[in-house]
Amino acid sequence: MKKLPDWLISYLRQPFVFIVWVMETYAINTARLRIFMSKPTVAKVFKLAITLTVVTWIFVGLMANEEDRSRLTDTLKGFWGEVQDINEQKKLQN
C-alpha cells in the first residue's frame, strides 16, 4: 500500500488535534471550576450574585410599563419553553 505524503497526513490530522485539545481544556477547566466552587466563600458570593440578579429582574419587570412587561413575559415564556424542550431531550438521551 502506498504511503500518503507527510504534508497530507499533517493536514488531515489537524481537526482531530484540535478536538482533542478542546476536550482536554474542557476537562481541566471543569475540574478547576469544581475546586473553585467548593470553597464556601466563593459559593456564597455566587449564590448572592444569582439572587441579586433575580431580584433585579423582578424589579425591572415590576417597574416596566404594560407594553414592555408583555414583551418581557413573552420572551421569558419562550425561553422557558426552550429550556423545557432541552430538559426533555436530555431525559430521553439518558
- pLDDT tens-digit series, residues 41-61: 998 999 999 999 999 988 988
Is this prediction's pTM over 0.85?
no
- pLDDT tens-digit series, residues 51-91: 999 999 889 888 888 888 888 888 888 888 888 888 888 88
H/E segment holding residue 88:
helix 66-93
Asked if residue 72 lies in contact with residue 64, where contact means CB atoms within 8 angstroms, the answer is: yes
Q: How far apart are CA 48 and CA 56, in angstroms?
A: 12
DSSP state for residue 1 in the 8-state scheme: -
